[in-house]
């Protein structure tokens, strides 16, 4: 094989292997004895050594992706597999971030962005030990670099890259659920509406979590609104908010404390009145829950950005403290919750509750084996 592919995330700082859906994600050292070809190993490691960190030094421990239990053989996965991996990795690692609220903004050491989980799928020519450096999109440039370990080749980090030092690992079930669901939606387009919705929502979520300073909060708010529209199946804000509410209300056995994971609370009631005029100018009104009230304010801000070219106040100051704060931070966390609730609906049981909750439930519900104490034998038995 003259052009094997290496699959890796150069800026993903993980300490232990993560296994999901037939894949292994682990630091380079984990794969010391897992290379199918010594030439591939030497050239690939020399190539990855050209990726620089924020101090312009080689990345110490890039994270590699490999089929579970197999060697790193350089086989390139199909495009739909690569896309499913990319989206699942970004969402699952960003989903480990704590919710950013007014009281905990300075938690950058625990925050990952989309750049951290960016998956590189790169061919390496073993015959002349060359790689091709690719830049640009609308105007794409390919530059051949001979000698993957040579001094001429340097790969600088993204301009606004952030390398967290205390980030949490992903929930394996989130990784499995997203990868399998997105892959099915790519392999069988149109076959499953929920899968398509999740894939599109995660795609826009990933765009919103790019750390580039070239994209401001107004644009990110628009991205998240599109993601909600995909997940709820409508661009009508009122209907979208209602379907979002119904999605959460359908989750079984929720309690007030679950609002820490969902933002939404099962105690919400339709107590907020909203008035508007229809297309004929007739006055209309309805009552909404806290979630719906926040969603309509969020949608109004998006509409002013898109339709009026305005930059409105991007903070919710409505009656519900659970949704208080900048629209972006509430929206991104609420969207994470909604995507995981949707995954729970389609077979990934209780994925929204988190890995620790599921482990505890498994221990509590583990069947016990009754032991029968031996009884002393009577004289009749002895005879």
DSSP 135-152: E-SSS-EEEEEESTTSTT
Between CA 14 and CA 24 the distance in angstroms is 12
Q: How far apart are CA 259 and CA 265, in angstroms?
A: 5
* Cβ atoms 357, 350 nearer than 8 A: yes
Per residue in 179-189, pLDDT (tens digit) is 999 999 999 99
Return the pLDDT at 295: 97
Q: 59, 51 in Cβ contact below 8 A? A: yes
Q: How many CA atoms lie within 13 A of 308 on its CB side?
A: 9
Cα–Cα distance measured from residue 8 to residue 65, given in angstroms and rounded to the nearest whole number: 6
Whether the pTM exceeds 0.85: the reply is yes
For residue 320, give the DSSP letter. -
Q: Per DSSP, what are the bridge partners of residue 120? A: 8
Single out the residue of 262, 261, 327, 256 nearest to residue 293, CA to CA. 327
Spatial separation of the C-alpha atoms in residues 216 and 59, rounded to whole Å: 29
User: CA–CA separation, 305 vs 301, rounded Å?
Assistant: 6
Contact 321, 294 (CB under 8 A): no
Containing 249, the helix (H) or strand (E) segment is helix 237-249
Q: Which residues contact 46 (CB under 8 A, 6 or more apart)?
A: 129, 148, 149
Q: Which of 158, 168, 170, 233 is nearest to 200 (CA)?
A: 233
Q: Strand pairing of 283-288 and 272-277?
A: antiparallel
Per-residue pLDDT, 383: 35
pLDDT of 291-341, one tens digit each?
999 999 999 999 999 999 988 889 999 898 999 999 999 999 999 999 999
Residues of the chain with pLDDT under 50: 1, 379-383
Neighbours of 141 (CB within 10 A): 9
Go through the chain and tell me how many residues it has. 383
């Amino acid at each position: 094989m003259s052009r094997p592919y290496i699959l890796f995330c150069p800026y993903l700082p993980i300490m232990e292997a993560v296994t999901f859906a037939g894949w292994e994600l682990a630091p380079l050292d984990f794969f010391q004895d897992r290379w199918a070809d010594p030439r591939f190993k030497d050239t690939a490691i020399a190539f990855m050594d050209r990726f620089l960190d924020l101090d312009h030094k080689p990345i110490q421990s890039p994270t590699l992706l490999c089929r579970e239990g197999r060697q790193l053989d350089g086989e390139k996965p199909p495009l739909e597999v690569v896309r499913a991996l990319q989206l699942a990795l970004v969402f699952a690692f960003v989903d480990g971030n704590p919710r950013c609220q007014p009281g905990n903004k300075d938690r950058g050491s625990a925050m990952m962005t989309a750049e951290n989980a960016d998956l590189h799928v790169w061919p390496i020519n073993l015959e002349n030990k060359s790689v091709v450096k690719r830049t640009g999109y609308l105007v794409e440039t390919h530059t051949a670099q001979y000698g993957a370990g040579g001094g001429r080749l340097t790969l600088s980090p993204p301009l606004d890259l952030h390398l967290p030092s205390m980030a949490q690992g992903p929930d394996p079930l989130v990784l499995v659920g997203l990868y399998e669901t997105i892959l099915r939606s790519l392999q069988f387009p149109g076959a499953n509406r929920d899968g398509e919705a999740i894939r599109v929502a995660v795609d826009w979520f990933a765009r919103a979590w790019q750390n580039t300073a070239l994209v401001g909060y107004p644009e990110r708010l628009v991205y998240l609104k599109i993601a909600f529209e995909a997940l709820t199946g409508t661009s009508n804000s009122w209907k979208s908010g209602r379907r979002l509410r119904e999605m959460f209300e359908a989750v079984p056995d929720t309690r007030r404390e679950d609002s820490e994971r969902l933002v939404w609370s099962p105690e919400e009631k339709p107590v907020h009145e909203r008035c508007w005029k229809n297309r004929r100018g007739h006055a209309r009104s309805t009552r909404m829950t806290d979630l719906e009230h926040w969603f309509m304010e969020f949608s109004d801000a998006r509409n002013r950005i898109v339709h009026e070219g305005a930059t409105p106040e991007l903070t919710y100051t409505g009656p519900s403290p659970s949704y208080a704060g900048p629209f972006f931070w509430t929206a991104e966390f609420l969207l994470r919750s909604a995507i995981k609730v949707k995954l729970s609906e389609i077979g990934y049981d209780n994925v929204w509750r988190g890995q620790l909750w599921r482990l505890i439930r498994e221990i509590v519900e583990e069947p016990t084996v009754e032991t029968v104490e031996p009884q002393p034998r009577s004289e009749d038995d002895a005879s």
